């Protein structure tokens, strides 16, 4: 028996107030393989009420007590690691090795980083006669996406608990099963009643209700910029804090002194990772105009090395994208690239050869893309790379920053000082030099329409705290 049709509220698995279900689709088969309950306002009320009641005592716990809880959660997470990986693979189509080594690992990595950050975190400081205290903000509504389910769940839940907050989580209804397993982890770890609650459902029926609920003190949202704007507008009526990690259209500047074989190949791999379903993917590759044709040849070779197929099969690099809606959107944008005059280097519309069912996308590279083209401006969220020429470094920086987004940027150069100088000019929350390893202690978040606030480690803990100055303490 599983908990797919129940919510986790006040320390127990409970039925929805009004029974309704949502099918969960396996994107590799286009068929439903289970169903979850669809929550509504009454379910949100129960969960928020439980979180508010628990906050009174949990907010007063010591750092040591919260550390002990997080360590128990990590232990239970590791016990369920394979279950989590299998769930992610089926619900979003990730090849199983990737589901283990990246998707499930991300949850573990963020839990470990939060524990390390909390161990060294100071919740008060003296400034003359004033004591400044950092206190938990309160009840937090956490709304997470389908593309990196455990990454986003843990990098919100863990720092909220580290800060002393209580939470209500709404995972994406498209990929919800890993979130249900995470709730089972929280229960197994002995999380106090009401500290962690989970309600499944759609954005309008659950997410928006959470954002507007008068007893919710903060909303942390990851998703599209369009949905983030709606969440922020709803939250504004009750003047609650809103932290958002939204869309991106990240530029990857390959400077003339880079090793082009390595830089272009890794750039294609970075764009196509997770089947292109990452908000910080390097989807715009900016290259010197006089080396454009050379880059296209390298990119074609790199893209055509990717193997697309069933996430259950051996040796597969790319599974399907997550849904029919995503598939149709990506097809529309590939068609727009062709119709607007970009050079189709490899890939293109339709499914890869031999795949007649499932939301599979042909790994696609466009060359001779201009900054005004749709594929250069819209977030595609699939394995589609746009290669754009620049005249000189100044032109590259201008093109890179000419976007409403500002989540990430990438710079490749054999001259680290030059790469650092260009990085300082990028209007983005994260800049990655020469494809570094994932750093769960680096701040993560965006400029402009890519959001506000920062996640990961101590940066995230800070976002879940209020600042109180007690003047005259000394």
Question: Do 429 and 447 form a contact (C-beta atoms < 8 A)?
Answer: yes
Given pLDDT bands bounded at 50, 70 and 90, which one contains residue 348?
Answer: very high
Whether residue 239 is found in the same domain as residue 359:
no
Whether residue 157 is found in the same domain as residue 300:
no
pTM: 0.97
**Structural domain includes residue 181:** yes
Whether residue 306 is found in the same domain as residue 409:
yes
Average pLDDT, the chain: 98
DSSP symbols for 145-163: -SSSHHHHHHHHHHHHHHH
**Structural domain includes residue 198:** yes
pLDDT at 1: 76
Domain that holds residue 238: 7-246+449-470
**Cβ neighbours of residue 354 closer than 8 Å, sequence gap 6 or more:** none
pLDDT at 332: 98
Whether residue 256 is found in the same domain as residue 239:
no
Whether residue 131 is found in the same domain as residue 78:
yes
**Structural domain includes residue 1:** no
Whether residue 236 is found in the same domain as residue 290:
no
Whether residue 433 is found in the same domain as residue 461:
no
Percentage of the chain modeled with pLDDT above 70 = 100
**Structural domain includes residue 76:** yes
Q: Could you report the per-residue pLDDT of 180-223, keeping only the tens digit for each?
A: 999 999 999 999 999 999 999 999 999 999 999 999 999 999 99
Does residue 312 register a pLDDT over 80? yes
Residues catalogued as catalytic: 245, 279
Q: Could you report the per-residue pLDDT of 284-307, keeping only the tens digit for each?
A: 999 999 999 999 999 999 999 999
Q: Could you report the per-residue pLDDT of 112-152, keeping only the tens digit for each?
A: 999 999 999 999 999 999 999 999 999 999 999 999 999 99
Question: Do 396 and 286 form a contact (C-beta atoms < 8 A)?
Answer: yes
Q: How many domains does the chain have?
A: 2
**CATH for 303:** 3.40.309.10
pLDDT at 264: 98
**Structural domain includes residue 421:** yes
pLDDT at 474: 86
pLDDT at 103: 98
**Structural domain includes residue 361:** yes
Does residue 88 register a pLDDT over 80? yes
Q: Could you report the per-residue pLDDT of 430-472, keeping only the tens digit for each?
A: 999 999 999 999 999 999 999 999 999 999 999 999 999 999 9
**Structural domain includes residue 192:** yes
**Structural domain includes residue 108:** yes
Whether residue 53 is found in the same domain as residue 84:
yes
How far is it, in rounded angstroms, from Cα 45 to Cα 50? Answer: 9
Whether residue 327 is found in the same domain as residue 457:
no
Whether residue 344 is found in the same domain as residue 304:
yes
Whether residue 334 is found in the same domain as residue 422:
yes
Whether residue 266 is found in the same domain as residue 342:
yes
**CATH for 87:** 3.40.605.10
- How many other C-beta atoms can be found within 10 angstroms of the C-beta atom of residue 94? 30
């Amino acid at each position: 028996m599983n908990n797919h049709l129940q919510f986790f509220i006040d320390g127990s698995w409970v039925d929805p107030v009004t029974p309704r279900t949502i099918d969960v689709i396996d994107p590799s088969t286009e068929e439903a393989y289970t169903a979850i309950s669809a929550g509504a306002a009454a379910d949100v009320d129960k969960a928020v009420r439980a979180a508010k009641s628990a906050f009174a005592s949990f907010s007063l716990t010591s750092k040591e007590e919260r550390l002990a809880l997080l360590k128990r959660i990590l232990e239970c997470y590791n016990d369920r690691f394979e279950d989590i990986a299998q769930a992610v693979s089926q619900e979003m189509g990730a090849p199983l090795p990737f589901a283990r080594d990246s998707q499930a690992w991300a949850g573990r990595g963020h839990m470990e980083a939060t524990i390390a950050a909390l161990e060294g975190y100071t919740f008060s400081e003296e400034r003359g006669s004033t004591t400044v205290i950092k206190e938990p903000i309160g009840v937090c509504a956490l709304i997470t996406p389908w593309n990196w389910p455990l990454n986003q769940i843990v990098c919100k839940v863990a720092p909220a608990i580290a800060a002393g907050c209580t939470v209500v989580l709404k995972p994406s209804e498209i990929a919800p099963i890993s979130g249900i397993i995470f709730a089972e982890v929280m229960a197994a770890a002995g999380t106090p009643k009401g500290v962690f609650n989970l309600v499944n459902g759609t954005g309008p029926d659950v997410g928006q209700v959470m954002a507007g609920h008068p007893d919710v003190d903060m909303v942390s949202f990851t998703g599209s910029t369009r949905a983030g704007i709606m969440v922020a507008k709803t939250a504004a009526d009750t003047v609650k804090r809103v932290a958002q990690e939204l869309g991106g259209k990240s530029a990857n500047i390959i400077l003339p002194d880079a090793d082009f074989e390595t830089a272009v190949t890794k750039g294609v791999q970075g764009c196509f990772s997770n089947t292109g379903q990452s908000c910080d993917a390097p989807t715009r590759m900016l290259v010197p105009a006089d080396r454009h044709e050379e880059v296209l040849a390298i990119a074609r070779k790199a893209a055509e090395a990717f193997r697309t197929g069933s996430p259950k099969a051996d040796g597969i690099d790319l599974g399907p994208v997550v849904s029919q809606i995503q598939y149709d959107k990506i097809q529309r944008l590939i068609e727009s690239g062709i119709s607007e005059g970009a050079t189709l280097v490899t890939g293109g519309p339709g499914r890869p050869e031999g795949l007649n069912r499932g939301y599979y996308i042909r790994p696609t590279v466009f060359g001779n893309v201009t900054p005004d083209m749709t594929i250069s401006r819209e977030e595609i969220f699939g394995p589609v790379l746009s290669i754009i020429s620049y005249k000189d470094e100044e032109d590259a920086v201008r093109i890179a920053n000419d976007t409403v987004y500002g989540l990430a940027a990438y710079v490749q150069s054999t001259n680290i000082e030059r790469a650092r100088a260009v990085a300082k000019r990028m209007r983005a929350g994260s800049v990655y030099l020469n494809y570094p390893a994932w750093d769960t202690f680096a701040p993560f978040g965006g400029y402009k329409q890519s959001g506000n606030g920062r996640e990961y480690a101590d940066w995230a803990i800070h976002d879940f705290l209020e600042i109180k100055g007690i003047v005259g303490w000394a």
